[in-house]
Structure 1
Amino acid sequence: MEPRAVLLSIAVSLVITWLFLNRRRCKDRPPGPIPLPIIGNLLQLGPKPHQSLSALAKTYGPLLSLQLGSVTVVVASSPDAAKEIFQKNDQSFPNRPILESVAAQPNVNDTLAWAPADNRWRNRRRICTTQIFTAQRLDLLQDLRHRNVHQLIKHVQKRSATGTQVDVGELAFATMLNLVSNTVFSVDLVDPEFETAGEFKELVWRIMEDAGKLNLADYFPALKRFDLQGVRRHVRVSYERLHEIFDDLIQKRLKEREDSSALRNGDFLDVLLDHCQPEDGSDFTVESIKPLILDLFIAGSDTSGSTTEWAMAELLRNPEIMRKARTELNQVIGNNIGQIKESDIPRLPYIQAIVKETLRLHPSVPLLLPYIAANDVVVTGYTIHKGDQLLINAWSIGRNPSYWDNPTSFLPERFLAGSAPDFKGRDFEYLPFGGGRRICPGLPLANRMISLMVATLVHSFEWDLPKGMTPETMDMNEQYGITLKKAVPLCLVPKSV
């Protein structure tokens, strides 16, 4: 298309947007800042939207309305608003608007995270919750995950012997990736020396980072076909490479399954392939299970690895909490380094409290994945209109001083009380995994893996900060993608205990 035609299309889009913006400013909408012509409130999001929106909520209230280009976005920042949405009006928010960066992946409508909540989605979710994420299924493969933990210990022991520092975030990501790959494929994707971890981390973070970028095509529909910011082109490389890796593993498994006498692995892939029976009218095919597997990998490796890094950072900043964690581990596990198992986690309440407190202060997805209203719905006295987008600010909710004492302090003890909230979506002041029908289905696996990883790192090694750094001077700034990672990697020097 000629440049003049492109500019004309943009100009027409902007004019229509401005007219639409003025027409739709209804009195019954939640309050919010006055939008600028054409672009609305886009400039007010800033590089860390979860923090910007939390600040705006202090001025305009726990349910506020923004105009982002031609899209009206309502942001909920309080437990009361979240409760009305998830408990009373969950049926009104069944689907998600699909971001341009997300639409770049093959077969996006076969994902769990983004697909519309139709019968196909319900069937896939049912199979995941009843045949993949049950305690029995997870127990069957825990020995494979324990083997990965032992590989981690051996790798860190080598670094300890030479006094070499390790990047905890990269180490956690690589281990989590292997924990997930063993659960899904019964194989390691990262080599024992963690040399191939960098490629996978770059692929996954590109997906997360691009999904969190301000992409004008998401707010000005007429711009979608131009991909002016190159987001689709940039992120498509990651999606295609990961699908290629998955396809190789799936094809290898299909050949193995041709031998009727061969033993089944009993992993997630076998469960999914068992449902790929077109003659039975199944919605599952080899192509349609790859986006589902991608969801599992992203949720299991990036978010769980990042949470582990945040937990270790908070423990280094709070030596007394680290001491209490070690005391519990020594009392329950003893001096048997590397012998922690998933079955031990229920006997480690303080470790569990550390993980929960980390998820409160540093939720993996600070703004839960967006929803779109299927009809007009009244929340806290205001109307969210059909077609409006909805964001739940889990980061802000987890720091609400009306519900949390000393909300910015890291205090695991708050989760030791019998009445402490849990992250299963029923306590609306604490929503790190979301809530309602679209709560993260991988919660049981993520909880096991993060707890096991944190317990292993604390029990197996002592950790020193690099020279010149103190707990008080640690950089705890956040880098926003669709997930929240530590802006400055946590590099520590391990010492054998």
Structure 2
Amino acid sequence: MADYILYFLLFFLSCLFLLFLLHKTSGSASSSAAAAKLTLPPSPPSLPLIGHLHLLLPANYKSFFNISSKYGPLLHIRLCSLQYVLVSSASLAAEIFRTHDLTFSSRPDFAFSEEYPYGKVGFLGAPYGDYWRYMKKLTMMEVLAPPQLARSRFVRNEEISRMLHKLLLSSQKKESVDLGAELIKLTNNSICRMMMSTRCSEENNEAENIRKLVNDTIEIATKLAFGDLFSEGPLKRLPFWLFGKKVLKLNIRFDVLLEKILQQHEERAKIHGFERDDRDLMDILLKAYLDEKAEFKITRNHIKAFLLDLFIAGTGTSAEVMQWTIAELINHPNVFRKVRQEIECVVGSRLVEETDIVNLPYMQAVVKECLRLYPAVPVARRACRETCKVNGYDIPKDIMVAVDLFAIMRDPNLWENPDEFRPERFYNANPNKDEGDQGMKHIQYEIKGQNFSFVPFGGGRRGCPGSLLAYNTINRTVAALVQCFDWKVGKDGNGEKVNMEIGTGISLPMAHSFICVPVSHSTPFVA
């Protein structure tokens, strides 16, 4: 295996050198011409050919944070052929998300996006235009609107109850659980049932197959992303040469499976209609698909792509934030007790409900603090639709802009002791005073507000459309786990604290499995 890796590296480096020789002259000429016309943001020292790649390896959450801390909040970065602008301050994020929101209202077009399952018709990655505007309106007015979220609340209640019963059984047996895996299963099941009225944990069903296909999609997309480094030249197609057959097979598997589920929903709608009390998200999308008077005529592929987007965006990210929140509470027992006392005071002996969250301000403060420290998506990516100026510099048309949300929400110029877990930042015990519990001026931070020092779900019109659902789900799930169980760290329950090391990936996963032993405190879900 080591020999194969060595041969591949030698081949890769040889191709890089050949590419450099072939494009050196033309590349230098075009770069010089572009530089003469535009005043680009400052750029850190780079190396020939690879640009700033050496400064961003290993590719994890620290990469952007380290380079912006050293060289500044607005940078022009080059990774081989890929160029983008890195933004890492709240004031500059306000320019992207508010001042120039329309200019930065598209997503970057990644390598081979047309080869992914429904890659060119997905909502989350769609360019700004008629289709995106129609789907955004449909999403906010129907798919993820408060009435539909209220209608599907019983689904989330049932799934949380199932998880609590399973944890109670482990508690009675004094067995350890992988809480991270349980939370991922919870979000998978909830999203599956909300989308198409089926659970992922049931054997031999479509939703479980979709979950596996989503994992395969993420894996293959990571491999194909290598092609973004070479927008020109012979190496651009190398990843697809290596993994193209897998992509094509993935497309076929997705299409067959989702078409089957669509047909099942169409048959049910013929009998019961689309206005049932138990309608799911696929019913809403099918109704829009059949609407001859719709502002935009969506296709079946649009529906399939939208469902895939929701599944990818709505499962692992929320589960990760829940893990970090429970872990911080375990590591800070005083905060844990304060959250439990608030729940018991407000809720009493029954199980905490989603509608209780509005009356649990300290619980919300804990979740907001964890969203600040561990945002579900640490970097928000946008594409510049037309050349504009930000902070006096030119941002070229079509260039990718990466807004480092992780760095902004840990900026020491904005947050006192930014790496500390301190829920009081978001909680004013005495609203008649201007000072918070920690001697800091109290500021009202909203999940979808105009304070760009707190942007856990991004900002502007391309901010996360499911932020309300995610926020309520995280609050309610964490509250239930605190209300019902104490937690002992480790497989044997003898650990002192949860390991808070962050792993690698496009999100912020835990580097180590979250293993602990649940200890029953109360069982309102059994009564």
Q: What TM-score do the two structures reach when normalised by structure 1? A: 0.89
Query: Which segment is superposed worse, 54-63 or 228-237?
Result: 228-237
- In the alignment, is the contact (CA less than 8 A) between 1:464 and 1:493 conserved in 2? yes
**Residues 7, 356 of structure 1: alpha-carbon distance in 2 compared, 3 angstrom cutoff:** closer
Find the partner of 1:360 among 344, 355, 372.
372
Partner of 2:281: 268
Structure with the greater alpha carbon radius of gyration: 2
Divergent runs of 4+, >6 A: 3-9, 194-201, 235-239
Give distance in 2, aligned partners of 1:235 and 1:313: 37
**Residues 358, 494 of structure 1: alpha-carbon distance in 2 compared, 3 angstrom cutoff:** same
Quick check: 1:341 aligned with 2:356?
no
Q: Secondary structure at the match of 1:485?
A: coil
Deviation at 1:19, TM superposition (A): 5.5
Give distance in 1, aligned partners of 2:208 and 2:274: 34
Find the partner of 2:452 among 428, 453, 456.
428
Give distance in 2, aligned partners of 1:18 and 1:317: 54
Give distance in 2, aligned partners of 1:255 and 1:220: 47
Quick check: 1:331 aligned with 2:345?
yes
Q: Secondary structure at the match of 1:484?
A: coil
User: What letter matches 1:277 in structure 2?
Assistant: L
- In the alignment, is the contact (CA less than 8 A) between 2:200 and 2:208 conserved in 1? no
Give distance in 2, aligned partners of 1:356 and 1:48: 26
- In the alignment, is the contact (CA less than 8 A) between 2:113 and 2:120 conserved in 1? no
Find the partner of 1:299 among 284, 291, 313.
313
Find the partner of 2:268 among 256, 259, 280.
256
Find the partner of 2:299 among 276, 285, 301.
285
Structure 2: where are the runs of 5+ without partners? 1-10, 429-441, 522-527
Query: Which segment is superposed worse, 23-32 or 266-275?
Result: 23-32
- In the alignment, is the contact (CA less than 8 A) between 2:117 and 2:254 conserved in 1? no
Give distance in 1, aligned partners of 2:86 and 2:466: 25
Mapping of 1:141-156 within 5 angstroms? 141-156=152-167
**Residues 396, 261 of structure 1: alpha-carbon distance in 2 compared, 3 angstrom cutoff:** closer
Structure 1, residues 451-481: CA drift from partner, whole Å, max 9, x if none? 1111111111111102486445x32222232
**Count, aligned residues:** 490
Give distance in 1, aligned partners of 2:362 and 2:454: 18
**Residues 437, 184 of structure 1: alpha-carbon distance in 2 compared, 3 angstrom cutoff:** same
Give distance in 2, aligned partners of 1:318 and 1:230: 48
Deviation at 1:219, TM superposition (A): 2.0
Mapping of 1:396-407 within 5 angstroms? 396-407=407-418
- In the alignment, is the contact (CA less than 8 A) between 1:207 and 1:238 conserved in 2? yes
Give distance in 2, aligned partners of 1:76 and 1:6: 32
Structure 1, residues 426-467: CA drift from partner, whole Å, max 9, x if none? 211111111111011111111121111111111111111024
**Residues 71, 23 of structure 1: alpha-carbon distance in 2 compared, 3 angstrom cutoff:** farther
Deviation at 1:47, TM superposition (A): 2.1
Mapping of 1:471-482 within 5 angstroms? 471-472=496-497, 474-482=498-506
Find the partner of 2:322 among 285, 302, 308.
308
Partner of 1:125: 136
Quick check: 1:443 aligned with 2:455?
no
Give distance in 2, aligned partners of 1:346 and 1:237: 46
Give distance in 2, aligned partners of 1:333 and 1:172: 23
Partner of 2:516: 492
Query: Which segment is superposed worse, 240-249 or 323-332?
Result: 240-249
Find the partner of 1:217 among 205, 227, 233.
227
- In the alignment, is the contact (CA less than 8 A) between 2:200 and 2:211 conserved in 1? no
Query: Which segment is superposed worse, 231-240 or 386-395?
Result: 231-240
User: What letter matches 1:356 in structure 2?
Assistant: K
Mapping of 1:33-44 within 5 angstroms? 33-44=44-55
Deviation at 1:63, TM superposition (A): 0.6
Q: Secondary structure at the match of 1:91?
A: coil
Give distance in 1, aligned partners of 2:353 and 2:270: 34
User: What letter matches 2:41 in structure 1?
Assistant: P
Deviation at 1:237, TM superposition (A): 6.3
Find the partner of 2:75 among 64, 87, 94.
64
**Residues 144, 230 of structure 1: alpha-carbon distance in 2 compared, 3 angstrom cutoff:** same
Quick check: 1:177 aligned with 2:188?
yes
User: What letter matches 1:327 in structure 2?
Assistant: Q
**Residues 180, 444 of structure 1: alpha-carbon distance in 2 compared, 3 angstrom cutoff:** same
**Root-mean-square deviation (Å):** 3.1
Deviation at 1:310, TM superposition (A): 1.2
Partner of 2:7: none
**Residues 263, 50 of structure 1: alpha-carbon distance in 2 compared, 3 angstrom cutoff:** closer
Give distance in 1, aligned partners of 2:457 and 2:56: 23
Partner of 2:399: 388
Query: Which segment is superposed worse, 268-277 or 182-191?
Result: 182-191
Structure 1: where are the runs of 5+ without partners? none
- In the alignment, is the contact (CA less than 8 A) between 2:159 and 2:186 conserved in 1? yes
Deviation at 1:235, TM superposition (A): 6.5
- In the alignment, is the contact (CA less than 8 A) between 1:208 and 1:483 conserved in 2? no
**Residues 170, 233 of structure 1: alpha-carbon distance in 2 compared, 3 angstrom cutoff:** farther
Query: Which segment is superposed worse, 460-469 or 75-84?
Result: 460-469
- In the alignment, is the contact (CA less than 8 A) between 2:486 and 2:520 conserved in 1? yes
Find the partner of 2:93 among 70, 82, 86.
82
Deviation at 1:203, TM superposition (A): 4.8
Find the partner of 2:65 among 48, 54, 58.
54
Give distance in 2, aligned partners of 1:83 and 1:155: 44
**Residues 358, 246 of structure 1: alpha-carbon distance in 2 compared, 3 angstrom cutoff:** farther
Q: What TM-score do the two structures reach when normalised by structure 2? A: 0.85
Give distance in 2, aligned partners of 1:198 and 1:174: 11
Give distance in 2, aligned partners of 1:174 and 1:381: 47
Query: Which segment is superposed worse, 455-464 or 236-245?
Result: 236-245
**Residues 202, 471 of structure 1: alpha-carbon distance in 2 compared, 3 angstrom cutoff:** farther
- Give the fraction of aligned pairs with identical amino acids, expressed as a percent: 31
Give distance in 1, aligned partners of 2:97 and 2:477: 31
